[in-house]
Structure 1
Amino acid sequence: MKLTAFSDISLRVLLLMGGLPEGTLLSTQRIAEGVGAPYHHVTKTVAKLRSMGLLVSLRGRSGGVSVTEEGLRSSVGSVLRELEADTAMVECEADEAACPLNHGCRLRAALAGAREAFYRELDDVTIADLVNERQIGKVAVSIGLAPPEDSFI
């Protein structure tokens, strides 16, 4: 199974924000630089993650985006279930008329089961479990922040 670019960027944003000291606020521009993704894509990603309660943002001169406690505790499986909810694995999931074999098709059910098994495998892994201070340290420095204390850059 291949994740969408949107899900990939979302996970990168959560990992970056989760690896920074608690309460660190970053602008969307700095997040985009930190995760190596276009600003426009990161803006949409941050908006979605905010609507899911995983990020919070503060407006104004000293504002920015930070990860919530819920964001850190969220399982990767649950995050992906929400982000990938509308993504069809095969064309017939999106458009039943696309396949002449759709009547009584068992493939869609088998693929749905496989997708759920994929998510279930990630249900025990939280965003916080994946945060790696060494990894985040280099990124933090590259976007002008002090590295997290335990980063050993």
Structure 2
Amino acid sequence: MQLNRFTDLGLRVLISLQYLPESELSTVESLAKQLNVSRNHLVKIVYFMAQTGWIDSFKGRNGGIRLSALSHRLKLGDIVQALEQASSETPALINCQQPPCSITEFCYLPQIFSEAQQAFYHSLNCYTLRQLQAPATHQAVIKWLDQQT
């Protein structure tokens, strides 16, 4: 299984926002620069995460984004599953329609892959977003934030 780009960038945004002091906001532009990706790639992701309540978004001259108060409790499997489902590029693990498969009616492979995928999400749910904070990551993000001010 491979996570799509939407999920990858979504996780990176959430991890980066963890290191912001509570009183500060980030912007899509600064995150795009930090993550070395196009701003356009992040806009859709940030909008989705604001709609889910994972991040708080503030419009206007002094606007920006930050993690919502409860985001640290989010389970990693739930995050990954939601991001994967929200992406329009998410293919099924196995597609019995392209090309059409002649054994679909008695094949259990799609069911087995679905169960394996659910087990994957379940195992990721043993971890919260907060548990992704590592000292080395923290130092790198803090260094980058200091360079921005």
Equivalent in the alignment of 2:119: 117
State the one-letter code of the partner of 2:118.
Answer: E
Whole-Å separation in 2 of the counterparts to 1:15 and 1:123: 16
SS state at 2:3 partner: coil
Equivalent in the alignment of 1:7: 7
State the one-letter code of the partner of 1:125.
Answer: Y
- The runs of at least 4 aligned residues of structure 1 exceeding 4 Å deviation read none
State the one-letter code of the partner of 2:132.
Answer: L
User: 1:9-59 CA deviation, whole Å, 9 max, x = no partner?
Assistant: 000000000122123211101011122222111111101111111011101
1:89 to 2:108 alignment? no
Unaligned runs of 5+ in 2: none
State the TM-score, normalized to the length of structure 1.
Answer: 0.84
SS state at 2:62 partner: coil
Q: Aligned residue pairs: how many? A: 144
Equivalent in the alignment of 1:28: 28
Question: How much does 1:71 deviate?
Answer: 1.8
State the one-letter code of the partner of 2:110.
Answer: R
SS state at 1:116 partner: helix
Aligned residues of 1:56 and 1:66 also touching (Cα < 8 A): yes
Question: How much does 1:91 deviate?
Answer: 2.1
Q: What RMSD, in angstroms, separates the aligned Cα atoms of the two structures? A: 1.9
State the one-letter code of the partner of 2:54.
Answer: L
Question: How much does 1:133 deviate?
Answer: 4.6
Aligned residues of 1:72 and 1:128 also touching (Cα < 8 A): yes
